[in-house]
């Protein structure tokens, strides 16, 4: 009997039926997992991102005076070139380069042997003249007595009177000559004419010196170091305020002088001089401030920045200078809103010194401004305050 081979269509039918039965027998848990793998998952909630970390300071009210600033230079009140007042040889040098001297200190000694001999000669001549004058006084007294007795003539009395007067004049001339010689003897000791600092000493022991003129004739230069004056210029529009300050404020308006360097130093002074005319070329006027310079911060010849307060000022909103931002739109600050977002606020600001800037408009006292970290901020950006402005900037602490 012949075997029957299953056809291809029969085999396909059996496979399909078996697969369907297997699917119907799959456990429910595995079916749910399969469904979950096929269906798209719901997006997970993202945590909110923290704001930009910044430092902030509170805007506050302060009395800000009207301040004008100019660049100038430091000048000594007195500079003296010391020269010898008599010809001679230096026998002793008592000063070194850069020494600080007081008025009257001995700087040099010049050979005085010749002047001492002249003084001795004049003293002897004066002694002789005084002796002659004394003898003539005695002769005149005797002649006057004899004239009273009609023994001497009137002519003799008149002659002795004239001789006595001439001798008195000779004595006076001798005294003047001796005084002049003694003065010249004093010139052999060269003293400091003022208190100050000595520059380069150009003469040493053995040099021949004298009262010659010219730049090389000076033995040295002494410059007064306290007080000093600072000369600078201001625009002519400030002339009225300058004049009012000189008239109505005791000692003149206050001036703050700052000199450069690795550690800029500031010192205070008073305005003491306003030039008599405005420079028509530059439209500025020269002014000078007197600075005590007791601490020695200033040095003659230095360039300095001088700020003069022209009035007592009014209550104005101030913030640290570091809060200001400059761009093509102008000056602005970033204000921290109560909700923690940043607001860019345009302001009119003027630097007033001490690390502070006066805000003329655009900001109110008590508002919180960003002083560090504003480079990454934009309008509406979320911020997180992590600290306060440093104390040297003058900002109030922000918790």
List the structure tokens of 8: 């291809």
Assign domain 67-77+226-309 to its CATH architecture: Beta Barrel (2.40)
- For 126-148, the pLDDT digits (tens) are 999 999 999 999 999 988 888 88
Q: Tell me, what's the pLDDT at 170?
A: 95
Instruction: Name the pTM for this structure.
Output: 0.63
> From the centroid of its chain, how far is CA 17?
104
How are beta strands 52-58 and 383-388 bridged, if at all? parallel
Which pLDDT score is estimated for 248? 74
pLDDT digits over 346-364, tens only? 998 877 667 888 898 889 9
DSSP string, 259-277: E-SSS-EEEEEEEEEE-SS
pLDDT in tens, the chain (399 residues): 344 444 444 444 444 444 444 344 444 444 444 444 444 444 444 445 578 899 999 999 988 777 888 999 999 999 999 999 999 999 999 999 999 999 999 999 999 999 999 999 999 999 999 999 999 999 999 888 888 888 888 888 899 999 999 999 999 999 999 999 999 999 999 999 999 999 999 999 999 998 877 656 789 999 999 999 999 999 998 899 899 888 877 778 889 999 876 666 788 999 999 999 999 999 999 999 999 998 888 999 999 999 898 877 778 899 999 999 888 888 999 999 999 899 999 998 877 667 888 898 889 999 999 999 888 888 889 998 887 654 333 344 444
In tens, the pLDDT along 146-186 reads 888 888 888 888 999 999 999 999 999 999 999 999 999 99
Give domain 78-111+188-223's CATH architecture: Beta Barrel (2.40)
Residue 211: what pLDDT? 86
Which residues, 6+ apart, have CB-to-CB distance to 190 below 8 Å?
82, 84, 106, 107, 108, 109, 110, 219
Q: Can you say whether the dihedral through the CA atoms of 158, 159, 164, 167 is positive or negative? A: positive
Dihedral angle sign, alpha carbons of residues 103, 106, 110, 113: positive
For residue 110, what are its two tokens? Answer: 């010049």
Residue 219: the pLDDT is 92
Residue 94 structure tokens: 């008592």
| pLDDT for residue 303 | 92
Could you tell me the CA-to-CA distances from 195 to 199, 221, 267 in Å, in that order?
Answer: 13, 11, 21
The domain defined by 54-64+315-393 folds into 2.40.420
């Amino acid at each position: 009997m012949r075997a029957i081979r299953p056809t291809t269509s029969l085999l396909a039918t059996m496979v399909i039926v078996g697969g369907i039965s297997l699917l119907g027998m799959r456990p429910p848990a595995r079916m749910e997992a399969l469904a979950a793998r096929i269906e798209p998952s719901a997006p997970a909630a993202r945590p909110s991102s923290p704001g930009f970390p910044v430092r902030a300071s509170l805007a506050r009210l302060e009395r800000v005076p009207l301040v004008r600033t100019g660049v100038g230079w430091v000048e000594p009140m007195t500079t003296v070139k010391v020269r010898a007042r008599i010809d001679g040889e230096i026998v002793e040098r008592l000063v070194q380069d850069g020494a600080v001297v007081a008025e009257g200190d001995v700087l040099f000694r010049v050979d005085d042997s010749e002047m001492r001999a002249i003084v001795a000669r004049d003293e002897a001549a004066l002694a002789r003249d005084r002796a002659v004058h004394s003898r003539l006084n005695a002769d005149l007294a005797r002649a006057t007595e004899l004239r009273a007795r009609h023994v001497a003539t009137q002519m003799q009395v008149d002659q002795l009177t004239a001789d006595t007067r001439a001798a008195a004049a000779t004595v006076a001339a001798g005294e003047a000559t001796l005084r002049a010689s003694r003065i010249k003897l004093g010139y052999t000791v060269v003293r400091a004419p003022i208190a100050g600092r000595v520059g380069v000493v150009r003469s040493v022991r053995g040099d021949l010196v004298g009262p010659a003129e010219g730049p090389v004739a000076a033995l040295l230069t002494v410059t007064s170091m306290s007080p000093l004056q600072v000369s600078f210029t201001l625009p002519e529009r400030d002339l009225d305020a300058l004049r009012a300050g000189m008239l109505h404020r005791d000692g003149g308006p206050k001036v703050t002088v700052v000199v450069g360097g690795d550690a800029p130093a500031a010192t205070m002074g008073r305005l003491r001089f306003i030039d008599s005319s405005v420079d028509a070329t530059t439209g500025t006027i020269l002014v000078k401030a007197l600075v005590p310079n007791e601490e020695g911060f200033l040095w003659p010849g230095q360039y300095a920045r001088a700020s003069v307060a022209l009035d007592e000022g009014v209550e104005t909103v101030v913030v640290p200078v570091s809060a200001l931002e400059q761009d093509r739109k102008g000056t602005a600050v970033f204000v921290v809103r109560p909700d923690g977002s940043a607001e860019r606020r345009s302001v009119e600001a003027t630097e007033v010194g001490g690390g502070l800037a006066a805000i003329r408009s655009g900001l109110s006292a008590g508002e919180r401004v960003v002083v560090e970290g504003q480079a990454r901020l934009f309008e509406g950006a979320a911020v997180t305050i992590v600290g306060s402005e440093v104390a040297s900037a003058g900002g109030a602490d922000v918790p």
